[in-house]
Amino acid sequence: MCYNIGMQYLAVLGRQPEISLAELEALFSDVKKQSCLIAFFKSDAEPRLARLGGSLKLAKKLENISPEEYLLGLPDGKITLGLSDYTYGDKKYSSRDIKNISQYGNRIKQALKAEGRSVRLLPNSTPTISTAAAHHNGLGRSPKKVELIKFRGDWFVSLGSQNITAYKNRDQVRPARDAKVGMLPPKLAQILINLCGPLPIDTTILDPFCGTGVVLQEALLMGYNVYGTDKDERMVKYTEKNLIWLSKKQHLNQKITLEQGDATSFQWTEPFGAVVAETYLGPPMSEPPADIKLKTAKEECGAIFAGFLKNLAPQITHDTPIVLALPAWRRRDGSFARLKTIDEIEKLGYNVLNKSAGGLLYARENQVVAREIIVLRKK
């Protein structure tokens, strides 16, 4: 019999909860969605929020200890405290929810004061402290800056909230950028890598459409070796510039291999253990395409995608994780035209592992070209 003794954690899910959930499921055990905002999971090692692209906050369950007892056990000095109640979940919160958490905060503050502890309590304008406020106040990042999270009957202590500043820096401060190849958000690059599941730390991650290197940047930050190829020599140079910049800035010393190569024919010269890429997305579009334009884009991207999978198959094993972001185009009626159906992908000699999720579509309201995330293994 198998017993799971991992600690119980809570994740506050991101803007697209189904994608956040898929990322947690790839990495942790017993992942259970509790509401549109919250999932529980178990882990033996303490999870690191900075490695997850899809969760806004992580928190550890307070087992057999009340919030007051937990706070009284903190090292001496002033405590900064934020309280969040995510219980409202799928329903809209009411003014009563705000009142309850604020009153509870004041009671805790008084109780701590009576014990000689001083507390700065962050005000609740909603039942939850926003991710931005939690981040800017450093909650969860040092022992005396605490966010306590309530969900139904349980309390959790936050391990931190999404580091908006670090993402912005990685995305916008890097030396080589190119709006035309589409800007893969670093968070999405992390999600793609994590959807490979746990990988040995000496794994080399191949991105055969490396562009300006966002996937490889995130892979380096997670501790993996990286191997990037792109058909366009200029892109290979961009990636080189960005990866050298990042490695210097973060004192990273993993192996970086970059080569120019067409993904539909290239023989990769170095071994690799996983393939993660945002494939060619077609021309940039500022409005939903007319039928003829959509047909041309689908044909062009589809031929590269199919040629790539055909070329890749003899160069990998059946266990090699492959996670790809493919283009999906917004139509005028708001629906999306996908590059390939699951059947068409499976006919190319691969199994689609995430088909039961009904497709993971990463879309922003103001963008025409969205990304469909697929997880593959060679048949």
Q: Which residue sits closest to ligand SAM, CB atoms considered?
A: 211
For ligand SAM, give the closer residue by CB, 143 or 283. Answer: 283
The answer to whether 264 contacts ligand SAM (rule: CB under 6 A) is yes
Q: Which stretch binds ligand SAM (CB under 6 A): 44-52, 144-152, 158-166, 181-189?
A: 181-189
In this structure, the number of other CB atoms found within 10 A of the CB of residue 33 comes to 18
Minimal CA–CA distance to 120: which of 72, 79, 70?
A: 79
For ligand SAM, give the closer residue by CB, 129 or 345. Answer: 345
Which residue from 262, 288, 296, 337 is in contact with ligand SAM, where contact means CB under 6 A?
A: 262
The answer to whether 184 contacts ligand SAM (rule: CB under 6 A) is yes
| Cα end-to-end span (Å), the chain | 31
For ligand SAM, give the closer residue by CB, 135 or 298. Answer: 298
Q: Which stretch binds ligand SAM (CB under 6 A): 84-92, 133-141, 224-232, 316-324?
A: 224-232
Q: Which stretch binds ligand SAM (CB under 6 A): 21-29, 144-152, 166-174, 225-233?
A: 225-233
User: With contact defined as beta carbons under 8 Å apart, do 272 and 204 qualify?
Assistant: yes
d(CA 347, CA 351): 9
Applying CB under 6 A, the site for ligand SAM has a residue count of 21
Q: Which stretch binds ligand SAM (CB under 6 A): 92-100, 226-234, 291-299, 311-319?
A: 226-234
Which contiguous run of DSSP H or E holds residue 240? helix 233-250
Q: Which stretch binds ligand SAM (CB under 6 A): 19-27, 98-106, 140-148, 278-286?
A: 278-286
CA distances to 31, 40, 251 from 34, rounded to whole Å, are: 10, 7, 39
Which residue from 232, 240, 259, 346 is in contact with ligand SAM, where contact means CB under 6 A?
A: 232
DSSP state of 100: H
The answer to whether 237 contacts ligand SAM (rule: CB under 6 A) is no
DSSP 27-81: H-EEEEE-SSSEEEEEESSPP-GGG-SSEEEEEEE--S--HHHHHHTSPSS-EEE
The answer to whether 278 contacts ligand SAM (rule: CB under 6 A) is yes
Structure tokens at 33: 């969605």
Site string for ligand SAM, 287-306 (x = CB under 6 A): -----------------x--
The answer to whether 181 contacts ligand SAM (rule: CB under 6 A) is yes
d(CA 116, CA 158): 24
d(CA 54, CA 47): 13
Q: Which stretch binds ligand SAM (CB under 6 A): 94-102, 103-111, 115-123, 211-219?
A: 211-219
337 DSSP β-pair partners: 329
Which residue from 9, 209, 272, 350 is in contact with ligand SAM, where contact means CB under 6 A?
A: 209
Minimal CA–CA distance to 10: which of 309, 176, 28, 301?
A: 28
For ligand SAM, give the closer residue by CB, 161 or 212. Answer: 212
Angle between helices 214-221 and 233-250 (to 10 degrees): 30
CA distances to 40, 173, 355 from 368, rounded to whole Å, are: 33, 25, 23
Which residue from 101, 196, 199, 215 is in contact with ligand SAM, where contact means CB under 6 A?
A: 215
Angle between helices 214-221 and 164-172 (to 10 degrees): 130
For ligand SAM, give the closer residue by CB, 176 or 252. Answer: 176
- Residues near ligand SAM (CB under 6 A) are 181-182, 184, 208-209, 211-215, 230-232, 235, 262-264, 278, 280-281, 304
